[in-house]
A and B are shown apart, each in its own frame.
Chain A
């Protein structure tokens, strides 16, 4: 937090230019020449001209910067430099240095190309630059490097070109002789600016001699802070370690040169200096042993700080961290509105929303200040000149006295505030939506179970995040763009993604099924639960004074709603016929919810979902359902029948196996005989499922709880038949199980047995239990799908990262075209018709006209 009295200056960054720092620039920005490898003196005070010189920034409390006079948090840090005894190559530009050496005359430093040819290249490259065509530019550069590499002599001084070889990583040879960096620097200095332009090099941002370092920039201490361990010992940053190595070697080199030491010693030290500077820039250069810490851990030097997922770019620059957020386990609460989130009191009295003081809310906000820590209170007050004052018992009085319109009070979270709610992984925009706050006394965040699908959340320990908007602008966007009510239709396919689930569907099924009548007590219970305050219509069953469920649900509908889809018919807000099921109000495609949204908008849709939700729950509360093992019982007759069917199928399988063995099988075109056998067996075994399901369905009636649940989208007939009937073929990657031992799946079978049982057909049902062999096959398939999920997640994650990266700057512009960041047109109209999918009906436009 900035606490200085200086006015805050806001500027917009328009562009960022890239280039290499010249030695004169280095000298200009540097505050000190670092010459001593020592860090601190005996008293623990930073050594002058050492790597911790106070001119390069302050990281200790109580000290002041020598340059700007700032303290620990106000001094941004300043650069220093090291004067190198001998020039050294910059490892990051090795390829370029090598290319340049081969592109210019070793004698006169001119480009190895006749001047007319050079001119055409120059114009071509200038054109690519002007057009900002990056790819073309780099291609041209690649081509000219390749071209010049082949030239044999200088067109200016006629000197013959001697090829320069780079022996990786950093040694150059001119013929047999070693080419020292100092020589390279001299050579590069001769190259004229206009010849650099031929290669696409911008002389103002990079002169080749700058790639041979004579001065080494030392980063500010704030970039490489030391940490004090509990023992009071100081532990220095990796960069500081590396820099002190460099200074030490540099000093030794300088001393030896001054002492007139033999060439060989100087050259060795020179190479050592090159090594240290190489690893300082990049500690993962091939063929260079990485520099290591005392503990043998490789040092994290400059390149390592930038690279990769945990590097500066992806971790710190492209990923931002925030304050004013909360995270907790989520639990369901069907009594919330769908666009609410239950926020624990402990959270609400900790994180705040800034509220600007006006004439009209001053009194109201005074109450918050008075309460202070006590909920609902306030934590900070910000004065007109931007000073931040903590609200404590001591400061309260003064703040209250001074409070004037224009101040900002950071007050506790209240019911009805809008917040952003998010669950990771945030795979689509529906993973972050605006919810209204409802303070709850527990310690978990609560959400309505109907909004689980967009977040892909469940309650097995999932955690979610809450973010408080900190400006009016942010809150307005949350309310009008991100609010859950506006996200009901997914932009992925243009149908509702939010809808009723589970118990609510059961309740509504019971309510709207034919011949469902309820007495007055029930009816008033249901309507009270939904908060519907309407006068009851005439009971449908006048004789007994009973209302039909359709009458009740009609009270929750908009009055002028007309809707027709398959069996369901609604006229003027009255349900005439049909049962309200998953297909109409369920998540991911409930047609009724969708048509209400299109006609009435988010607010009414939200209300409708809420009402149905409360009614549905009220019905199940009165008429609950359960499930027991007896629901799986079948009559002896049916059991015999299933047994018979299984036996027949097995016999058929045997027949196929036999005819295959005898070579009588006629292969399906495009398949071998054994593949054909497998396909035939699979179709017989999988074909059993349906008739058995029908059989069981026939026997099980409405009072079978599973059948009831299957009508409410909580179970399926397959669930029932695999519990009370048989589990069926366990398919591994679309085939019968064939892995295991040689020619057999398990040692329980004979070799070469390809019958039903030995290849993973489960004759038992889950209700009665599987035998060991069957259970084993069942586990194989289960494990396989687990592995599949584990392998798929990173793959699809990477795919999405690539897609986002490629498409992120596409936007609809004001003229209706779809353009990229350079304003190039990608589409003239979005999708050919400019229809926003989230405003459409499954991609089209449906009309609801009478």
Chain B
């Protein structure tokens, strides 16, 4: 490289991303390049990297918004999609992207991917075993028979031994659970089953009691209504319907480092904002990939970054990012303009005209792209004097 490009070269030395350098090393090794060949490659790489730098002033936000919005028109609305026959339905497509941007407290189809520790991820059976432990079980599933007796107003539950052992509970255990959860009833063990006696002599209530007992959660983790062992990349993991990250991560067999959920708000609460940012990226990427819409990773990153910029999650709605803009007119131009104008007059807000829409409104150059640079001219000092100073 020539001498006048030395500053550029120095700058590159410092700024060339490590990932690119690592890639270069790898390629060099693969092709068994000599040191000089490698250096030549590095020089080319530097040039290429310098030429691909983003231009100052580039309206990256708008480009990102368009890069996601434009394929949005081509996406199918179909909310559910079968990813192969043996997987649970998860909301995908445009509705899912909107859901992520809205930061819904609870996604339409909350779902977890539970990774397992060795050796539980080695076979379907092992995974299924853990899955059974995780899935929330209601009493109705464990019972062979639930019968009512109108003579003494009681409900008799006869258990299915196989189901009990599959979920690692015994009749005694069930008895304890029932005792804890049912108040105001007499709970007794009888003939290997359990009898629940009602004090009031009312048949309607007895029916209700029976239904209540059927739906009683007796084992597993709350919220997780269905589990399915699936094979991904040679290991078995568990896909769930319903999400409860905190409780699932505490299970011994679960690999808590890789286990995820698609509920962004939940991730932010349990693991923090950085994890939530990654989930936003992953969830949007997943939809775009599934729909076959190529969008660069950087755009998705920018969206996730602005949603997590303040350390709290902010949605892409009038309650989120837009509500925190300092410009009155920018807020007013989005939704409910009157409210913003009136509130602004109350606290005496001043719009500094620093972002895009306000300047469009007043017919001035917008501070992005070619509208950004200004020309500063120092008119006072005579040029000659200055030159003399420098030379001496």
CB pair A833–B345 under 8 Å, yes or no, is no
Q: Within residues 275 to 306 of chain B, which ones have a CB less than 8 A from any CB in chain A?
A: 294-299, 301-303, 305-306
Please tell me if B41 contacts chain A, counting CB pairs below 8 Å: yes
Please tell me if B322 contacts chain A, counting CB pairs below 8 Å: yes
Contacts of A799 in B (CB 8 A): 69, 72, 94, 97-98, 101
- Interface residues of B toward A: which range? 35 or more
Contacts of B45 in A (CB 8 A): 845, 847
Give the distance in Å from the alpha carbon of A307 to the alpha carbon of B342 in the complex. Answer: 13
Q: Within residues 47 to 72 of chain B, which ones have a CB less than 8 A from any CB in chain A?
A: 48-49, 51-72
Minimal beta-carbon separation of B152 from chain A (angstroms): 37
Contacts of B343 in A (CB 8 A): 138
Q: Which of A309-317, A460-468, A578-586, A755-763 contacts B (4 or more CB under 8 A)?
A: A309-317
Give the distance in Å from the alpha carbon of A92 to the alpha carbon of B17 in the complex. Answer: 55
**Most B Cβ at <10 Å: residue of A13, A306, A810:** A810
Contacts of A734 in B (CB 8 A): 78, 80-82
CB pair A836–B53 under 8 Å, yes or no, is yes
Give the distance in Å from the alpha carbon of A788 to the alpha carbon of B79 in the complex. Answer: 11
Minimal beta-carbon separation of A460 from chain B (angstroms): 18
Given the known inter-chain contacts A16-B329, A796-B94, please indicate yes or no for A849 contacting B40, CB distance below 8 A.
yes
Contacts of B358 in A (CB 8 A): 16
Please tell me if B262 contacts chain A, counting CB pairs below 8 Å: no
Contacts of A492 in B (CB 8 A): 66-67, 70-71, 294-296, 299
Give the distance in Å from the alpha carbon of A670 to the alpha carbon of B97 in the complex. Answer: 26
Cβ contacts A to B, 6 pairs, < 8 Å = A307-B338, A669-B128, A792-B77, A806-B306, A821-B354, A845-B52
Chain A 106-142: CB-based contact to B (< 8 A → 1; otherwise 0): 0000000000000000000000010011110110010
Q: Within residues 655 to 681 of chain A, which ones have a CB less than 8 A from any CB in chain B?
A: 668-670, 679
Please tell me if B110 contacts chain A, counting CB pairs below 8 Å: no
Please tell me if B226 contacts chain A, counting CB pairs below 8 Å: yes
CB pair B295–A800 under 8 Å, yes or no, is no
Given the known inter-chain contacts A306-B338, A427-B69, A793-B73, please indicate yes or no for A812 contacting B60, CB distance below 8 A.
yes
Q: Which of B2-10, B205-213, B359-367 contacts A (4 or more CB under 8 A)?
A: B359-367
**Most A Cβ at <10 Å: residue of B82, B88, B347, B356:** B347
Minimal beta-carbon separation of B347 from chain A (angstroms): 5
Please tell me if A768 contacts chain B, counting CB pairs below 8 Å: no
Chain A 765-793: CB-based contact to B (< 8 A → 1; otherwise 0): 00000000000000000000000100111
Contacts of B121 in A (CB 8 A): none
Given the known inter-chain contacts A812-B57, A830-B302, please indicate yes or no for A15 contacting B72, CB distance below 8 A.
no
The 9 closest A-B pairs by CB, nearest first: A202-B348, A831-B298, A810-B61, A800-B69, A807-B61, A821-B355, A205-B348, A796-B72, A809-B355
Please tell me if B190 contacts chain A, counting CB pairs below 8 Å: no
Residue of chain B at shortest CB distance from A211 = B346
Contacts of B40 in A (CB 8 A): 849
Contacts of B324 in A (CB 8 A): 134-135
Give the distance in Å from the alpha carbon of A811 to the alpha carbon of B354 in the complex. Answer: 12
Please tell me if B186 contacts chain A, counting CB pairs below 8 Å: no
Residue of chain B at shortest CB distance from A140 = B347
CB pair A92–B338 under 8 Å, yes or no, is yes
Chain B 300-321: CB-based contact to A (< 8 A → 1; otherwise 0): 0111011001000000110011
Please tell me if B182 contacts chain A, counting CB pairs below 8 Å: no
CB pair B326–A821 under 8 Å, yes or no, is yes
Residue of chain B at shortest CB distance from A835 = B52
Please tell me if A795 contacts chain B, counting CB pairs below 8 Å: yes
Contacts of B63 in A (CB 8 A): 429, 491, 837
Contacts of A795 in B (CB 8 A): 77, 94, 98
Minimal beta-carbon separation of A798 from chain B (angstroms): 9
CB pair B332–A813 under 8 Å, yes or no, is no
Minimal beta-carbon separation of A732 from chain B (angstroms): 10
CB pair A837–B298 under 8 Å, yes or no, is yes
CB pair B41–A847 under 8 Å, yes or no, is yes
Please tell me if A494 contacts chain B, counting CB pairs below 8 Å: yes
Contacts of A544 in B (CB 8 A): none
Taking a contact as CB atoms closer than 8 A, the residue among A311, A670, A803, A836 that contacts B68 in the complex is A803
Taking a contact as CB atoms closer than 8 A, the residue among B64, B82, B345 that contacts A19 in the complex is B345
Please tell me if A428 contacts chain B, counting CB pairs below 8 Å: yes
Please tell me if B327 contacts chain A, counting CB pairs below 8 Å: yes
Given the known inter-chain contacts A96-B346, A802-B101, A805-B334, please indicate yes or no for A826 contacting B309, CB distance below 8 A.
yes
**Most A Cβ at <10 Å: residue of B61, B305, B369:** B61
CB pair A15–B351 under 8 Å, yes or no, is yes
Given the known inter-chain contacts A791-B77, A799-B101, A809-B356, please indicate yes or no for A19 contacting B348, CB distance below 8 A.
yes
Give the distance in Å from the alpha carbon of A827 to the alpha carbon of B85 in the complex. Answer: 41
Please tell me if B44 contacts chain A, counting CB pairs below 8 Å: yes
Q: Within residues 372 to 386 of chain B, which ones have a CB less than 8 A from any CB in chain A?
A: 372
Minimal beta-carbon separation of B373 from chain A (angstroms): 9
Given the known inter-chain contacts A12-B364, A833-B17, please indicate yes or no for A847 contacting B88, CB distance below 8 A.
no
Contacts of B176 in A (CB 8 A): none
Contacts of A313 in B (CB 8 A): 329, 332-333, 337, 361
Given the known inter-chain contacts A18-B350, A791-B77, A795-B94, please indicate yes or no for A800 contacting B338, CB distance below 8 A.
no
CB pair B321–A428 under 8 Å, yes or no, is no
Give the distance in Å from the alpha carbon of A385 to the alpha carbon of B128 in the complex. Answer: 86
CB pair A808–B61 under 8 Å, yes or no, is yes
Residue of chain A at shortest CB distance from B76 = A788
Give the distance in Å from the alpha carbon of A800 to the alpha carbon of B70 in the complex. Answer: 8
CB pair A847–B48 under 8 Å, yes or no, is yes
Contacts of B334 in A (CB 8 A): 802, 805
Given the known inter-chain contacts A679-B85, A810-B306, please indicate yes or no for A16 contacting B295, CB distance below 8 A.
no
Taking a contact as CB atoms closer than 8 A, the residue among A306, A491, A806, A811 that contacts B316 in the complex is A806
Give the distance in Å from the alpha carbon of A393 to the alpha carbon of B329 in the complex. Answer: 49
Minimal beta-carbon separation of A735 from chain B (angstroms): 9
Residue of chain B at shortest CB distance from A320 = B360
Please tell me if B368 contacts chain A, counting CB pairs below 8 Å: yes
Taking a contact as CB atoms closer than 8 A, the residue among B48, B228, B322, B325 that contacts A670 in the complex is B228
Contacts of B90 in A (CB 8 A): none
Contacts of A92 in B (CB 8 A): 338, 342
Please tell me if B344 contacts chain A, counting CB pairs below 8 Å: yes
CB pair B322–A826 under 8 Å, yes or no, is no
Given the known inter-chain contacts A202-B347, A818-B302, please indicate yes or no for A845 contacting B65, CB distance below 8 A.
no
